[in-house]
């Protein structure tokens, strides 16, 4: 493991990269959902969703996002922001998208991203907000759609 990325780029074995991070209020601060909102709870093995009304306010920290809780509107916001900034900010002056990797936190998060991409492309650019889904085996958590707004460009991880 003494062969560094920098040496691999110099040897033309690998290529350099730029990281583009899209931050949202939820990824930076977490969020809360009011009591009375219906929350989906996903079964780990079947991935079937069971809907239940939250009987008390539910809050979650940024680190729980896409692990203990899924906020589909937040994922859609990140995807739309990426799409809208693709040729103006991320790859200015290009007409084609170069090889691009989208990092997911785990397999389930990757499935959520792909599912949302498929649904949004099938519907065109408009999509209705979808209810939150709590991951199995963890306390029920959800999101506040108003917190899903892009806030800034960063230089760390592409998806949070």
Residue 7, pLDDT > 90, answer: yes
Residue 138, pLDDT > 70, answer: no
As a whole number of Å, the CA-based R_g of the chain is 18
Provide the 8-state DSSP code for 135.
P
The model's confidence at residue 132, banded by pLDDT at 50, 70 and 90, is low
pTM of this structure: 0.66
Can you spell out the DSSP letters for 55-109? SS-EEE-GGGBTTTEE-HHHHHHHHHHHHHHIIIIISTT-SSPPP-----SSHHH
């Amino acid at each position: 493991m003494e062969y560094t990325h920098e040496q691999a780029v110099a040897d033309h074995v690998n290529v350099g990269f730029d990281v583009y991070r899209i931050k949202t209020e939820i990824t930076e601060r977490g969020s809360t959902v009011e009591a009375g909102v219906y929350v989906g709870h996903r079964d780990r093995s079947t991935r079937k969703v069971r809907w239940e009304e939250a009987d008390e306010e539910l809050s979650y920290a940024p680190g729980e996002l896409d692990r203990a809780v899924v906020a589909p509107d937040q994922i859609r916001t990140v995807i739309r922001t990426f799409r809208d900034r693709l040729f103006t900010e991320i790859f200015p002056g290009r007409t084609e998208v170069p090889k691009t990797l989208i990092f997911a936190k785990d397999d389930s998060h990757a499935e959520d991203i792909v599912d949302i991409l498929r649904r949004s492309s099938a519907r065109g650019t408009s999509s209705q907000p979808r209810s939150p889904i709590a991951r199995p085996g963890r306390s029920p958590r959800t999101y506040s759609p108003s917190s899903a707004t892009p806030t800034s460009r960063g230089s760390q991880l592409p998806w949070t």
